[in-house]
Structure 1
């Protein structure tokens, strides 16, 4: 199968960039089994910008776009290729495909990415906007994910409304948090506190009352995060 030109262009650009010494440090910091090229986040953004904006490399349809994302992601030999796949999902040229039909792709990225550097951006910057625009269709999906066996899908559900502020669905927020209150995972406890802390910027009294209501069921980590700026 022939790769899309944008996939080849991205792989070639990544292969010729980076710093081997930095790559070792990045891999250790991220506890990643997959190696790094040693490209910083600003360098990666600058490298990808002209490639993703090049009309000659634009993907011709939804299937081609999703195929390119999956190829970069599933065929990655270095972690930056997965970061590039995430950048490709969010590029303005493909905004018209940010709808419920894309959730299965994002579910795949969350489950196979299975670490905060992948999951958090996909949850808040990709899945969140789809939820905001298609509440009736997407809310049941988020509710299912909040009780899924996969902990990263549960984290995704909890933090899916991070950017919503006054548009936060409080019933959904509680419905994603409550099935996970007794979970001992650091990543879920952190997510619960983070979600509450973000909403505290909009309604601190609601967050204080909710923390009090949950009482001892709320872990110390979640409580500290929730009340951090109150």
Structure 2
């Protein structure tokens, strides 16, 4: 990607965030997210409006340029909103045609280096999930590996990536990813398991009820989340 294309986009993002930043809100946002990286103090709606404008003014010519721009925003970020914009960029609608399994290494880096729920959940559900539905043969083996990885954020991503899949949910994979981490005491994993089951319960509550009944090792947190919309105990 020509340097001026990347530079123009990155400079415009940084300048826009600086202009929109609120020094009063910034520390409050940082405390809420328990973030080591500071915030500019830009609310989400304003950030998204800025991103749409900047992306329209600085179009990228191909997938490689998208990856390069996103990684530059991510790796060089001084404020958390810059990383949010990097994620926004990967989901920019005109670039949907580039959403293929070849982008998975990018998303894996963002998940592992981001290592917090605000990054991981968006990437897992809005980026990895659609790739899984589009290219299941390529993504299933990766999700199975992530589900048993030492990194808890890869594991959470494997569990929750189908939250928006509804009737397209791969039930065998969902069960495998949950069972792989069912005994872990980590809050984010237990919460993620419950979230994944709760989401699918809106499509098939009977399946979720049967799964919970068959897995007594599920934590109380996971069970409580999973059964929110499921009649319990079963008749």
Same fold (TM > 0.5): yes
Does the Cα contact within 8 Å between 2:196 and 2:226 map onto a contact in 1? yes
TM-score (norm 2): 0.94
| Matches of 2:31 and 2:220, distance apart in 1 | 28
- Aligned-partner SS, 1:77: coil
Match of 2:150 in 1: 149
| Matches of 1:119 and 1:112, distance apart in 2 | 10
Residue 49 (structure 1) aligned to one of 52, 56, 63: 52
Match of 1:219 in 2: 219
**Residue 4 of structure 1, CA deviation:** 3.0
Range moving further from structure 2, 192-201 or 12-21: 12-21
**Residue 93 of structure 1, CA deviation:** 2.0
TM-score (norm 1): 0.96
Match of 1:137 in 2: 138
Match of 1:173 in 2: 174
Match of 1:40 in 2: 43
- Aligned-partner SS, 1:6: helix
- Aligned-partner SS, 2:125: helix
* Matching of residues 1-230 of structure 1 within 5 Å: 3-54=6-57, 57-215=58-216, 217-230=217-230
Range moving further from structure 2, 41-50 or 127-136: 41-50
Task: Give the aligned length.
Answer: 227
| Matches of 1:47 and 1:112, distance apart in 2 | 25
| Matches of 1:119 and 1:20, distance apart in 2 | 26
- Aligned-partner SS, 1:4: helix
**Residue 149 of structure 1, CA deviation:** 0.9
RMSD: 1.0
